[in-house]
A and B are shown apart, each in its own frame.
Chain A
């Protein structure tokens, strides 16, 4: 690993100013992806800007309406341990406990998971299912984009040079709604999803009023499948309806073969994991009065 300059701005304006003068700088939150990539030579850096010291990037804010704002550098363990997150966003607390091991969770953040933009990122399908948006700052000001639009290719996203992710915003969960993320890994922990599925589902008057479904590891980016969720709207939550939605997600997938699984196996898992994620989201919606 070659030597690099390091800066740790203490405020967002300072960070934006630094980035404007060093647009090629690498941003470091937990560093659990970046440091590994620098050491392996997959990425190079002349300047690394550490965003952990910026207060706004380290806050978890639950609004009165229970909408949630998560600073981009908030480490996973704080979400897992947060009583309000556990109460209102159990699937989010769960996924934060699945990324890496205990030591990694002390540093890794959901913001970093999104900015690393891996097709296999565990948190992204759930963030999409939860209708999360990404708040971005740059010298031209601030903007907000839906998470499903954030990733553009493996390891790439729509952050322009000079921009950084500030926070993730999740709208308040509707009454009688539930969400879930499930991943398939051959081991029980410490592995990258062969296929992951995030789902959310809202019930009203015995039928499904809204649903969203997204998959990981089956396309160049985490894959939002609007047709799968839309197919459930107005339907009774029957096994057949969930299975049909899962099949739509499977049809949208374009997996590759690699050391973690063949394309055929991944395609098979799409339907299984999507259906299971919908089933768990449904159970949670039914329990959520």
Chain B
């Protein structure tokens, strides 16, 4: 457990962007106004699967007030297909382009077909409705099992294996021998529905293609460099021709890594000769951006009489949506990642279906597979008469445990999370009455490294400017400034973080994979170390000594001493300003384990679930800003509970989403959840100077199975489909 003491790390200062955000001054993409700017609209497919026979834009172009109309025909010719790297995943250029503006076929209802720029958004919408598209409707297929069946409608004729775009297989030990040693074997199959991240701010992009051939883009993105690189790839331009300025971001959760609007706004701007702004409606967000896959997962686990797992098998089929790339690989990698198991077989299928192309969503793929593993373990614990946490502790992954996909764990906190759950006041409190149930589950997410850059400039008043490229979704300005302050011996308030455009800072990967506090934090730490080295040299010069020391915020040598601020004031006379940059590509990423305890009540007459008490437990490595760690834990838990209970894409047989609004896409509101209690476990990550592990994702993995297990305890029913909504609970 963490024992190092810090001055700034572990405290809870007010976030640097807080005042602007609570007073409405922070600028989001929709707030942007540029001289001569015009407004765009996108025409979307009404069919889930159809061949495009003809697109006629003449009437739209003739409407007064229209500046430009574009279709896929306006993309520059691509010589060969290539892979576009998104940092947290990659895609083929042809898929990326095909999803941005359909060509040949539309593959889901909501698929973008054409776009218009006009004097205002109303004229643009009117013009979009004037575009004539002749479709030849084709049969659609909406779920992975149906899409894998013989005779299913085929989405992509060039895929060699029907709708199965990719398979993954991990094997370890001897599965048959493992099951032969088991005294109890439980096998279950569970489905999950397509769900959306539900960020509050819709996607938006404003682009200006200037006459010198360079493009400026302002957008809501989790990664400005990824948006730059993807836009450049789609438009077949060098990356240096695109500059992306990230605006403030109203949530992303993985869904704002892909580009949808940026290249379209750029193409419209090129034709219009003006800046063009595109803003999605909520319905566009549901039907035109990437939700997370629906899935079918079958898990079979065998245990010996002592509750030691002897073998485990998983079969996973995930719906990629219209283009390959469901998160089945991480689903397969994480399905048994919490446990030390000798004999394993995992098979996964990435299946294309006529629904929106899926995107990352907080630990993408892991909640789907954990649902099956953790509910099967709950059933095993019940049948063996074991405490469900004790069963998990008996099998928990530890340092040295080998995961089925290859790696051996370094120091991890799986056992510590389980022990914290067992010792928690919640786990030791009685349930309040009848029709109530308590569920437990745990989950794992890897976290990633990826490159990050930062620059620190010392001001004469003793403060420090921090220039960085990680868009701030969850309080990263604060967590990064605090790491700089810790090294520099300053207060968090003395660091002024600014997130800048892609021309103004070194390459920085996405704010995703729970990496920003870890990876950009390391860049900030390294830059701060360089600042201290230069400042020590300045102090030495000032005092005419060989070297000066720095400790507790004070430079000293031979009886001389100066505070950071005092020395900062003298930089001008000791050689000029100090400014240092660092770029890192760290390999020491540490995975995070999380657990959930949840108490539910079910109304036996209506099937309605009330959430009574929730405790989220997670290994943060070291919590830089505990309040924002707690916020991540509460956020992931709230999203997971919504996913488990009520959220789903409700599709009709024709493939139309019938509930594409926040009225009918039933995310939990503040009135549906109690205050979520948190327990931060700190098992420092040896791969980071402060021990940081990412905390953004693992917390969404346990809620699905924890809810399922609690519902079983409350109702006696083991349901096999998420969402476990009131009608499902009553079997109606």
Interface residues of A (CB under 8 A from B): 1-3, 184, 186-192, 258-262, 264-265, 268-269, 272
Contact = CB atoms under 8 A, between A and B. Distances in A.
A35 to B, nearest CB: 14
B646 A262 contact: no
B149 interface: no
A272 B663 CA distance: 24
B727 A265 contact: yes
Contacts of B122: 1-3
A260 B666 CA distance: 10
Interface stretch (B54-62, B110-118, B433-441, B667-675): B667-675
B725 interface: yes
B63 to A, nearest CB: 12
Contact of B732 (A2, A188, A264): A264
B135 interface: no
Contact of A261 (B658, B663, B668, B727): B727
Interface SS of chain B:
loop
Given A186-B646, A258-B658, A272-B606, A191 B663 contact: yes
Query: What 7 pairs across the A-B complex have the smallest Cβ distances?
Result: A265-B732, A259-B650, A265-B727, A259-B659, A188-B671, A259-B658, A264-B732
Contact of B669 (A3, A187, A192, A262): A187
9 contacts: A187-B666, A190-B671, A258-B658, A259-B658, A262-B732, A264-B732, A265-B726, A265-B730, A272-B606
B664 interface: yes
B196 to A, nearest CB: 14
Interface of B: 122, 125-126, 605-606, 608, 645-646, 650, 658-659, 663-664, 666, 668-669, 671-672, 725-727, 730, 732
A265 B729 CA distance: 11
Contact of B666 (A184, A186, A264, A272): A186
B605 A272 contact: yes
A272 B672 CA distance: 22
Given A192-B664, A262-B727, 4 more contacts: A187-B646, A187-B668, A192-B663, A259-B664
B669 A269 contact: no
A268 B663 contact: no
B126 A2 contact: yes
Contacts of A268: 730, 732
Given A191-B663, A192-B663, A262-B732, A186 B725 contact: yes
A3 to B, nearest CB: 7
A187 B726 CA distance: 10
Contacts of B608: 184, 186
Contacts of B664: 192, 259-260
A191 B606 contact: no
A1 B125 CA distance: 8
Contacts, number: 52
B340 to A, nearest CB: 39
A150 to B, nearest CB: 24
Given A261-B727, A268-B730, A269-B606, A188 B669 contact: yes
B732 A186 contact: no
A176 B725 CA distance: 39
A227 B421 CA distance: 55
A258 B664 CA distance: 11
B126 to A, nearest CB: 7
A187 B727 CA distance: 13
Nearest to B728: A265
Contacts of B663: 190-192
A2 B129 CA distance: 12
Contact of A187 (B650, B659, B671, B732): B671
Nearest to A39: B281
A269 B671 CA distance: 22
A1 B672 CA distance: 34
A191 B672 CA distance: 12
Contacts of B605: 272
A272 B605 CA distance: 7
Contact of B672 (A187, A259, A260, A265): A187
Contacts of A187: 646, 666, 668-669, 671-672
B62 to A, nearest CB: 18
A275 to B, nearest CB: 9
B671 A189 contact: yes
| A3, A260, A272: residue with the most chain B Cβ atoms closer than 10 Å | A260
A259 B671 CA distance: 22
Contacts of A3: 122
A3 B646 CA distance: 38
Given A1-B122, A186-B646, A191 B666 contact: yes
Contacts of B650: 259
Nearest to B725: A186
A260 B440 CA distance: 29
Contacts of B646: 186-187
Nearest to B129: A41
Contacts of B669: 187-190
A258 B657 CA distance: 11
A202 B732 CA distance: 35
A40 B668 CA distance: 24
Contacts of A192: 663-664
Contacts of B730: 265, 268
Nearest to A101: B669
A187 B646 CA distance: 8
A90 B730 CA distance: 32
A256 to B, nearest CB: 12
Contacts of A188: 669, 671-672
A191 B668 CA distance: 11
A18 to B, nearest CB: 25
Nearest to A269: B606
Contacts of B726: 184, 186, 265
| A1, A187, A261, A264: residue with the most chain B Cβ atoms closer than 10 Å | A187
A4 B308 CA distance: 71
B206 to A, nearest CB: 22
A1 B123 CA distance: 9
B282 to A, nearest CB: 11
Contacts of A191: 663, 666
Contacts of A2: 122, 126
Contacts of A258: 658
A31 B125 CA distance: 22
| B650, B659, B668, B732: residue with the most chain A Cβ atoms closer than 10 Å | B732
Contacts of A261: 727
A269 B605 CA distance: 8
A77 to B, nearest CB: 18
Contacts of A269: 606
A174 to B, nearest CB: 30
B658 A184 contact: no
A214 B107 CA distance: 44
Contacts of A272: 605-606
B60 to A, nearest CB: 15
A269 B727 CA distance: 10
Contacts of A189: 669, 671-672
A95 B194 CA distance: 34
B647 to A, nearest CB: 10
A69 B234 CA distance: 63
B67 to A, nearest CB: 19
B518 to A, nearest CB: 36
Nearest to B668: A187
Contacts of A186: 608, 645-646, 666, 725-726
A83 to B, nearest CB: 26
| A259, A260, A261: residue with the most chain B Cβ atoms closer than 10 Å | A259
Contacts of B671: 187-190
B606 A184 contact: yes
A79 to B, nearest CB: 21
Nearest to A192: B663
B195 to A, nearest CB: 14
A44 to B, nearest CB: 12
A268 B659 CA distance: 23
Nearest to A187: B672
B120 to A, nearest CB: 10
